[in-house]
Amino acid sequence: MSWRATVLTLFPEMFPGPLGGSLAGRGLERGLWSLEARNIRDAATDRHRTVDDTPFGGGAGMVMRPDVVDAAVAAAMPEGDTRPLVFLTPRGTPLRQSLVRDLVAGPGVVLLCGRYEGVDQRVVEARGMIEVSVGDYVLSGGELAAMVLLDSCVRLIPGVMGASESAEEESFSDGLLEYPHYTRPADWRGLRVPEVLLSGHHGQVAAWRRAQAEAVTRARRPDLLSPQLHGAAQPA
């Protein structure tokens, strides 16, 4: 059975969007994964298909109702559906490659895209949702965040990417940012490719790449470094 993704959204027409192109789109066409976008409004019970209401305690904006969201989740996840339920929200824990790998290892994922000021916290807790953020910024809704999460997952599904070792060596695969890349010509505008990469010595190349990955991570994302790397010598 292919990896299944279900998106709960007020704008199902936004999907597959960019996910319909490139590697993800080809994987979708080949049946390596499936995508269903469901309209949360279909779970509303009044004639206006209302999904939101004013927040208790006052304040600007509207909040998505727990009863409507819960009904939408129930319709998307019948009894026995073991896929994790992820709520895309700026309040969530940061999306990490480790979570992506965990999600890909399972049968799929159900994603809830919030709108307005957010979703009533009671349904988030009652449904045991995993709250995830794709960055320290605010979007108009969770749809773009859902696409980011899905793209990060789909590319790791066996058969989607051409070379499995490419995924193993890229940024965050081992807790570090990726080393820099070079290709032909070896001399471009007077800038030479590092000699070690032209040496043909695989051990030296691997050591250089590791040192470069540690150096760029230390400079740009020191929060990713393990304690032992914090104390390691600066790579040349």
pLDDT at 162 over 80: no
Q: What is the average pLDDT across 150-159?
A: 96
> Which pLDDT score, from 0 to 100, does residue 43 have?
98
Q: Are 40 and 51 in contact (CB under 8 A)?
A: yes
pLDDT at 80 over 80: yes
CATH of residue 36: 3.40.1280.10
Residue 160, token pair as written in the block = 């989607």
Nearest to 73 by CA among 125, 19, 14: 125
**Statement: the pTM of the whole predicted model exceeds 0.85:** yes
Q: Flag whether 207 is in a domain.
A: yes
Q: Flag whether 183 is in a domain.
A: yes
Q: Are 129 and 64 in contact (CB under 8 A)?
A: no
pLDDT at 234 over 50: no
Assess whether 185 and 70 both reside in one domain: no
Q: Flag whether 165 is in a domain.
A: no
CA angle 101, 5, 167 (to 5 degrees): 30
Assess whether 61 and 130 both reside in one domain: yes
Q: What is the average pLDDT across 18-36?
A: 97
Task: Please count the structural domains in the chain.
Answer: 2
Q: What is the average pLDDT across 155-177?
A: 74
**Cis amide leading into 12 (omega within 30):** no
Instruction: Give the whole-number percent of the chain exceeding pLDDT 90.
Output: 87
Domain boundaries, position 194 = 170-230
Assess whether 175 and 142 both reside in one domain: no
Q: Give the model's confidence band at 173: pLDDT under 50 very low, under 70 low, under 90 confident, else very high.
A: low
Assess whether 131 and 185 both reside in one domain: no
Q: Flag whether 163 is in a domain.
A: no
Assess whether 55 and 132 both reside in one domain: yes
Assess whether 145 and 175 both reside in one domain: no
Specify the long-range contacts of residues 26-33, CB closer than 8 Å, at least 24 apart.
Answer: 26/160, 27/154, 27/157, 27/159, 27/160, 28/154, 30/159, 31/2, 32/2, 32/3, 32/157, 32/158, 32/159, 32/160, 33/2, 33/3, 33/4, 33/5, 33/108, 33/154, 33/157, 33/160
Q: Give the model's confidence band at 231: pLDDT under 50 very low, under 70 low, under 90 confident, else very high.
A: very low
Q: Flag whether 164 is in a domain.
A: no
> Which pLDDT score, from 0 to 100, does residue 235 have?
37
Q: Flag whether 80 is in a domain.
A: yes
